[in-house]
Structure 1
Amino acid sequence: MRPSLRRWVVLSVVNYAAKPRSVVCSALSAHSTVVPRLLCQQRSHSTKVFESKMAASTREALRSNGIIPDVLDDFEPKYTLKVTYPSTKTEINLGDHISTKQAHDPPVYEFHPVSPTEGTEPNKAYSLVLTDPDAKSRQEPIWSEFCHWVVGNASNPRTSGGKSGGTSLEKYMPPSPPPGTGDHRYVFVLLKGDASNVGKLKAPKERKQWGYGKQRHGVRQWASEHGLEVVGANFFFAQHD
């Protein structure tokens, strides 16, 4: 091979599983940096497209299963939300069917921004809740929504690597659907608000209907009262075992 012939080695890694936005792109050349820049830009563009598709698929799953509008108003997901029950090694993936035994102990969670610019705002705090919009049943939601968990001041993903953290405002209550009521949707909702309001967050007055005394009341009203924005969600199905 002639010495004057340019040789390029391009390395690109996209970690889709844990952090879809993580991209490493580099190039080696003895003559120019223009092509490497272009290649990195192309990789960055393709990653943004992938992230956009992830957000769209989350939104579509929430819509197709009635979580939008039963639990949440329509929104554009800004974070991916990964939830895992470590005691049973069960990971929740947008509509999985699991047993109540798999969800008996409190889960751990991670959340990562879809956009590189998201999560960079100062003085922001996050909350995570778990709610059941199908209590007593989806056909007869007389206890809906039922609050199963509220975590305030969840760790900022930029400083914690997205790992679990925060203060439990309402202790985790595992799913326990009544016999004969079919599948229940259990919805994790990630919320964002001003850090100055963290100390003002209050647990619902009671778990049933989140203390509002009306069917289908819960996360939407609680978030509005505390000035919180819905930025991510995940969910699973479970029925009486």
Structure 2
Amino acid sequence: MTSVLGRLLYYECAVPLVRYRHFLVGKPPGVARSLEQRLAELNYKDPTLHFKVNIGFKPPVPPKASSVRKELAALRCSKELEHLARTQKLEIPLEAVEETWKTTGAPFHIKTIAEHYGVFQDLFGDAYFYPVKPLDIDYKSGDLYHPVYRGNVIKPSEASKPPEVQYKSDPNTLWTLILTNPDGHFTEENAEYILWFIGNIPGCNLNKGDVIWDYLQPFPAFGTGYQRCIFILFKQDQKIDYSSMKKDIPCLQLSKRTFKTEDFYRQHQKDITPAGLAFFQTDWDPSLTDFYHNVLQMKEPRYEYDFPEPYIAPQEWFPRRKPFNIYQDKYRDQKAIAKEYLLKKFKNRHPFEKPPTPLRFPNAHPIDHKIPSWLKEEMKKDRLGWGRINDY
């Protein structure tokens, strides 16, 4: 009896143990890959495909954290500053703060923002640069100035005329300024429209530079959303002959304004170095209709997204827990429904009389209990000013 019971217990305990070991035991630790090795394989990136190169100037060296802490500690211990702060007479020189930021942290901040907006990837591929030369760009519209920062929105009507561009430079140096749009080309993929190109600028005097392409305002087509307009300032090592690129002025043929910043830089990379960057976003506004017709002498392009028809399940004979009228409207012609709501709204309107005064307390008025629930709901919406009928 004991031997039989022992054999039964042995099989009941041993068989599950064998199955457990059969399915979970893997390779020994010396042969199997560790978790760290598997994650490294999954996250591996080929360095030859993701190598970024700096084609600009070296960024300024940021101050050491220890020196900044010492300076802040000295300011906190200043009795004079504390007295001015308590008496609300402490003034912060914002212009001096901005100048300090432009020469210390601005190149790093502007580069980070430009990477976020994909500026370097779309214009220079795997290259980037630090904008060490601050640009002050202002569009003037009437008595208002619209500055260009880093991605702010400026409408085409506000950018219809060339902006005022300022930057600090030696009068004996030469510069090239371009304004390009990488998002709005109509016929070529990965191509840009050059909106402005001035080369061989002595110092900051744009009027004495060589105008290769005259200024053309942004013209984002209807339905294309926001487009980037990017200013890039290049420092020249010597005077460059741009005569082969020069176009007629004014140049209003869009085919002649096709441009690629990367190709331009590769052609002149021995003589130019990108130093300044600023850009804004723009989208369609009504002023562009006249611009397309009377300036560009072309039909205005308009783009609309073709939404797919929504999926509607087959009708049921006895739908439950669904409003009767809304359920039926799913399977009707939408134009017929719109017409019905419009006529329903006009039915209670008189062309020469004021509309009826709305109820002060709409839910306080009773509704006949014999009316179907879906019709009660529509009457409540009509009293409260809710629903589709109020959209017309």
Map of 1:107 onto structure 2: 163
Cα distance between partner residues in 1 of 2:146 and 2:93: 27
Higher relative strand content: 1
SS in 2 for 1:83: strand
Deviation, structure 1 residue 13: 6.3
**1:60–1:179 Cα change, 3 Å:** same
**1:101–1:50 Cα change, 3 Å:** closer
Higher relative helix content: 2
Map of 1:223 onto structure 2: 265
After TM superposition, what 4+ stretches of structure 1 lie above 4 angstroms from structure 2?
204-211
Deviation, structure 1 residue 186: 0.3
Within the candidate set 188, 196, 199, 1:149 is matched to 196
Map of 2:176 onto structure 1: 127
Question: For 1:40-189, what aligned pairs fall within 5 Å after superposition?
Answer: 47=100, 51-72=103-124, 73-88=127-142, 89-112=145-168, 124-136=173-185, 142=189, 144-157=191-204, 166-189=209-232
Q: Which amino acid aligns with 2:221?
A: P
SS in 1 for 2:161: coil
Deviation, structure 1 residue 225: 1.6
Question: For 1:21-32, what aligned pairs fall within 5 Å after superposition?
Answer: none
Contact 1:143 1:209 in 2 (8 A): no
CA RMSD of aligned residues (A): 3.3
Cα distance between partner residues in 1 of 2:256 and 2:119: 16
Q: Which amino acid aligns with 2:181?
A: D
Cα distance between partner residues in 2 of 1:14 and 1:87: 26
Cα distance between partner residues in 2 of 1:221 and 1:147: 13
Cα distance between partner residues in 2 of 1:50 and 1:149: 25
Question: For 1:187-198, what aligned pairs fall within 5 Å after superposition?
Answer: 187-197=230-240
Cα distance between partner residues in 2 of 1:53 and 1:180: 37
**1:209–1:55 Cα change, 3 Å:** farther
TM-score (norm 1): 0.65
Cα distance between partner residues in 1 of 2:254 and 2:273: 21
Contact 2:159 2:217 in 1 (8 A): yes
Q: Which one has the largest radius of gyration?
A: 2
Deviation, structure 1 residue 105: 0.5
**1:133–1:141 Cα change, 3 Å:** farther
Greater RCO (Cα-Cα under 8 Å, separation 6 or more): 1
Deviation, structure 1 residue 53: 0.7
Contact 2:172 2:203 in 1 (8 A): no
Taking only the aligned residue pairs, the percentage that are identical comes to: 23
